[in-house]
Amino acid sequence: MDAFLIKGPVRLAGTVRASGAKNAALPALAASLLTDAPVTLDEVPDLADVRTMAHLLGGMGVSVERPAPGRMVLDASRVTSTEAPYDLVRTMRASILVLGPLLARFGEARVSLPGGCAIGVRPVDLHLMALEAMGARIAVEKGYIHAHVSRVGRATGRLTGTTIRFPTSTVTGTENVLFAAALARGTTVIENAAREPEVADSALLLTRMGARVTGAGTGTITVEGVERLSGTGASPHEIVPDRIEAGTYLAAGAITGGDVTVTHARARDLETFLDALRRAGAGVEATGGAVRVSASRELEAVDIETAPHPGFPTDLQAQFLALMTQAQGTSRLVETIFENRFLHAVELARLGADVRVEGRAAVVRGPARLEGAPVTASDLRASAALVLAGLVAWGETRVRRIYHLDRGYAAMDERLRALGASVERIDG
């Protein structure tokens, strides 16, 4: 099992390019099930989760090709199975995104209950509630979701548009309904829809395929169902830049007192996070498609509270917590999205961080002198937080179980080395 060996402290400087967003690429791959025409995607990141989704689709009969780095061509004209098996779904929660497309196009699906990071329950109840409201019959048996739409004679049954109001904002729930509604009969209105840029990117892809979607990026999305969707045509759909990866490298620059520019980044998708960096005393500049952070003076403690977009991203909470270990004063970080997302706090304390967890909040006092030690990652973003802490810790830090990291960051060791870090991938 791989680990990172990090020697610190270091000061990062230079430029790194953000990849396409994992959280936009995975639903885009799932959306290929909605049509029998080829779907071509650009800026697809080379990540373990993307490979898992491609393998899952391949097992259903979807042709998946990579004609060039970052490009994928998917052809779902010969789907042979509407089942998503446990062995693949258990490793990645985003696998649930095949449920809506399979139901919409084929009228049936058998999808294992998903797995993923150990950061909370994250039930799929809202997905099932919404699809049932659209006419699906759903049963959960022996760890599988069995869903179908009643046939009309020999014809595949179609879902029916309706108004769905989510009691809480859900990104994958919004995307699943968005996909299902694209081929449903009539109009579907999604209220309290997730506003994340990745949801808007999914809607843009569907629109290019012939769907009728309005309101994406707001709290109300309206979808007028169509009989059939096409592919992407002559030009590929370009996946939106990964705001979480961009934010992670900006935090790495700030925590090391460095000067880091992230290209292929959209500042408008990171406004709340960039504001927190500014309040902490880091210099932030956004020009065109790049964001630069410089931290030449002592950082100051900042309180944050995670919230659905456009609030502070939960996927950057762990990285910001690591940053606050080097800030002067006491900061309080409140996690409102997931109930178990401070597992990294214990590992940061092993490095010398002064952090305590109080329910859904973490209180950090700094600056702390971190000392290298072996630590173990519990999930994807916790892995990134431990790497950031290792960059400023004195001596050697060994971050174990970085297979979590590989799910969301392409070649992170290589990119950090290009910025001046001493990071080595080892057998750990």
Residue 296 pLDDT more than 90? no
Instruction: Confirm if 214 and 250 have CB atoms less than 8 A apart.
Output: no
Amino acid at 387: V
- Measured from the Cβ of residue 235, the count of other Cβ atoms closer than 10 Å reads 9
Banded model confidence at residue 154, pLDDT cuts 50, 70, 90: low
Strands, DSSP E only, in 77-136? Answer: 83-84, 108-112
Q: How far apart are CA 52 and CA 37, in angstroms?
A: 22
What pLDDT is recorded for position 268?
Answer: 96
319 Cβ neighbours under 8 A, 6+ residues apart? 247, 248, 251, 381, 384, 385, 388
Retrieve residue 199's tokens: 């949801």
Q: What is the pLDDT of residues 94-112, one digit of tens each?
A: 889 999 999 999 999 999 8
Residue 119 pLDDT more than 60? no
Mean pLDDT of 371-383: 92
Retrieve residue 370's tokens: 């971190």
Instruction: Confirm if 221 and 29 have CB atoms less than 8 A apart.
Output: no
Instruction: Confirm if 282 and 302 have CB atoms less than 8 A apart.
Output: no
Amino acid at 114: P
Beta strand 283-287 pairing with 290-294: antiparallel
Mean pLDDT of 289-306: 95
Give 2-19+241-427's CATH code, choosing from 3.90.1570.10, 3.30.750.200, 3.65.10.10, 1.10.1240.10: 3.65.10.10
Residue 155 pLDDT more than 90? no
Percent of the chain with pLDDT over 70: 96
What pLDDT is recorded for position 116?
Answer: 43
Using alpha carbons, list the distances in angstroms from residue 17 to 90, 155, 242, 250. 31, 48, 10, 11
Mean pLDDT of 222-230: 97
Residue 130 pLDDT more than 60? yes
Rg, C-alpha atoms of the chain? 22
Q: What is the largest CA-CA distance in the chain?
A: 72
CA dihedral 239, 28, 19, 248 (to 10 degrees): 110
Q: How many Cα atoms occupy the beta-carbon half-sphere of 97 within 13 Å?
A: 32
Beta strand 290-294 pairing with 259-263: antiparallel
| DSSP one-letter string for 146-198 | EEE---BTTBPP--B--EEE-SS--HHHHHHHHHHHHTSBSEEEEET----HH
Q: How many Cα atoms occupy the beta-carbon half-sphere of 19 within 13 Å?
A: 23
Mean pLDDT of 334-358: 90
Q: Which one, of 375, 312, 314, lies nearest residue 342 by Cα?
A: 314
What pLDDT is recorded for position 123?
Answer: 65
> Is the pTM for the entire model greater than 0.75?
yes
Banded model confidence at residue 115, pLDDT cuts 50, 70, 90: low
Q: How far apart are CA 342 and CA 335, in angstroms?
A: 8
Retrieve residue 39's tokens: 């779907």
Q: How far apart are CA 416 and CA 418, in angstroms?
A: 5
Question: Looking at the annotation, which residues are catalytic?
Answer: 117
What three-state secondary structure class fits 1?
A: coil
Amino acid at 164: I
Q: Which one, of 262, 261, 259, lies nearest residue 243 by Cα?
A: 262
Q: What is the pLDDT of residues 385-397, one digit of tens each?
A: 999 999 999 999 9
Residue 120 pLDDT more than 60? no
Instruction: Confirm if 144 and 133 have CB atoms less than 8 A apart.
Output: no
- Measured from the Cβ of residue 320, the count of other Cβ atoms closer than 10 Å reads 28
What pLDDT is recorded for position 118?
Answer: 40
Retrieve residue 349's tokens: 């304390």
What three-state secondary structure class fits 305?
A: strand
User: What are the φ and ψ backbone dihedral angles of 273, each rounded to 5 degrees?
Assistant: -65, -45
Name which CATH class applies to 22-238.
alpha beta
Residue 322 pLDDT more than 70? yes
Same fold flag, 2-19+241-427 and 22-238 = yes
Which has the higher per-residue pLDDT, 123 or 100?
A: 100
Strands, DSSP E only, in 225-348? Answer: 237-238, 259-263, 283-287, 290-294, 304-305, 329-334
Instruction: Confirm if 89 and 111 have CB atoms less than 8 A apart.
Output: yes
Amino acid at 91: T
Residue 239 pLDDT more than 80? yes
Q: What is the pLDDT of residues 177-195, one digit of tens each?
A: 999 999 999 999 999 999 9
User: What are the φ and ψ backbone dihedral angles of 124, each rounded to 5 degrees?
Assistant: -100, 15
Percent of the chain with pLDDT over 90: 85
Query: Across the strands, what pairs with 354?
Result: 365
Mean pLDDT of 31-41: 98
Domain edges within the chain: 2-19+241-427, 22-238
What pLDDT is recorded for position 152?
Answer: 61
Mean pLDDT of 34-41: 98
123 Cβ neighbours under 8 A, 6+ residues apart? none
- Mean pLDDT, rounded, of the chain: 93
